[in-house]
Structure formats: C-alpha cells, structure tokens
Amino acid sequence: MIRLKFSINLKYDVVDFASDFIFNTHAAHTRCQTVVNEALHLS
C-alpha cells in the first residue's frame, strides 16, 4: 500500500472585518483511494 501525505497552507489578509468566508473542502473517497486522516486548523 502506498501512503501519501499532503499539507496545504492558505493565508489571507482581510482588510475589512465585515467579510465572510466559506471554505468548501472535501477529500475524495473512491474505490482506488481511502482517506485515513484529515484535519482543518484555523488561527
């Protein structure tokens, strides 16, 4: 079994604090791959 680990960092500078963000992320679950672990960290 081959295991891959991906890490993505996104940085946004928000000028107006009245802004809303909607993040829609999803790791694909298919016959050929299985998601073992996923996490979302916000600061």
Q: Which tens digits make up the pLDDT trace of 2-40?
A: 888 888 888 888 787 777 778 788 878 888 888 888 888
The predicted pLDDT at position 43 comes to 76
Which residues, other chains included, contact 25 with Cβ-Cβ below 8 Å and sequence gap of 6+?
Answer: 40
What's the predicted TM-score (pTM) here?
0.45
The predicted pLDDT at position 37 comes to 85
Q: How far apart are CA 2 and CA 34, in angstroms?
A: 11
